[in-house]
Amino acid sequence: MGKSKKSKVRGGGGDDLLDSSDADSVGSSSTALSDLSISYATENVNSHEFVLDKYIDALYEKRGSTREAALASLVDAFESFMLGGLVENKYATLLSLFNTSIKKGSTKEACLASRAIGLLSITLGAGSSSHETMVESHPQLSKVLQTWSDASKMISALDCLAVVTFVGATDLAETEVSLKAMWDVIHPKSGSNVGTVRKPRPPVLAAALSAWTFLLTTIGSWRINTDSWKEPIAFLSTLLGAEDRAVRMAAGEALALCFELNLLDISPSEDADDDTGVPGSSKGKLFLDMQALKAKIAGLASNLSAEAGGKGADKKNLSDQRDLFQRILDFVKYGECPEESMKIAGKRDVLRVASWSELIQLNFFKRFLGRGFLKHVQDNGLLQDIFNIKADKAETLSSNDKKIFRSGEEKGRALKLNKDRRLAQQINDAFHIAK
């Protein structure tokens, strides 16, 4: 699909941009998104590409407000539709533009771009494209975390880093790099001068804990050295006493996952012979330390599950905290796993989770995808694989119903041809009017 003759060719520096009249044509994001919605209803690939190209063109525009509008529309589109087939040949261009927005754009633009990268990764699904997305975006996202910029920018970068690594990482080493970047926000080390330790604000700390925990769910199948987890788990236990409730709850979920992954379990039989050959020496002490830590965490969870609400306390958040820590206490003491289920509209399938790993993944994807979660659960193969959901829409139908279903699809294709022609003209007219 050709671009408007007013479009400029991008130069080597990436700063040659569209003429302002092209920017105005994309400025009305609601109109463009409406056009995309119509085009998806008729499955017109050319119309999809036309609208997407307009968004891409706008990301070259000098005006920050135009880039922000284009990013907002792209985020909306990623949430509302499955764009996999449309972006598979454009993801590298999109990724480059998104990274530039994080690097050079305003805080609002950087937050939108971070979200767009995460949504792009989810749309692409596991594979070489999502791995490249992770590799190319990691340096810029890590820089945001290292420079301790605006809180909202850091939170967006943390969420994005968690998603792109979850989807794109191919081994434990790649995952550990992202986990370390997040842990450096959770528990920062001293700078070059003594006493210059930075402390994250509560919203940033809660987001870092959530992202770190979400990513930690992926290491269950890899070999874990439990000896190295005493210090991190001990620090997480101190956060159960944080003033901010969101921080306490995020730390609680992290600790619940650590219990599920057996990171606190050191068998006494393993301590009988260590490197020194002396029964119960260093590893014997580690076993006792871990047992004491378990008891401490169980006690704190018990207290938080029964915390009384003071005057002016947020009753909803207090109730959520009590429920979470009661679940944690039941798991630690009795091994009872959390269970949740939700129906998927239009299908007979029910999404069920029955472990802390699954529950944490479900809650993170629900929060990150927002209103787009249900759409992606229904049609995105990545989420269907994660949560073991059947993808075939005709799979649950009877033999006769399947014939009717497929016959209807054939009739739909015939009717669509005329609609496509009318749609293409409508979209062209809409953009000419906007100009």
Mean pLDDT over 405-423 rounds to 41
Confidence of residue 426 (pLDDT cuts 50, 70, 90): very low
Q: Measure the CA–CA gap between 307 and 285, rounded to whole angstroms.
A: 33
Residue 351 scores a pLDDT above 50? yes
pLDDT value for 258? 94
Mean pLDDT over 226-245 rounds to 90
Distances, alpha carbon 38 to alpha carbons 22, 35, 393, 414, in Å: 21, 5, 22, 17
Identify the CATH class of 45-171.
mainly alpha
Mean pLDDT over 169-185 rounds to 95
pLDDT value for 264? 81
Beta strands in 278-416 (DSSP E): 340-343, 350-353
Sign (positive or negative) of CA dihedral 103, 6, 4, 27: positive
pLDDT value for 167? 97
The structure tokens listed for 105 are: 């754009």
Collapsed DSSP state (helix, strand, coil) of residue 18? coil
DSSP 350: E
pLDDT value for 238? 96
pLDDT value for 240? 96
Q: Measure the CA–CA gap between 52 and 90, rounded to whole angstroms.
A: 10
Residue 127 scores a pLDDT above 90? yes
Contact 203/151 with Cβ under 8 angstroms?
yes
The pTM of the full predicted model, rounded to 2 decimals, is 0.78
CB burial of 228-250 (b: ≥16 within 10 Å; e: otherwise) equals ebbebbeebbebbebeebbbbbb
Mean pLDDT over 135-160 rounds to 96
Contact 10/52 with Cβ under 8 angstroms?
no
Please name the residue that has the structure tokens 């994660």. Answer: 386
Contact 56/94 with Cβ under 8 angstroms?
yes
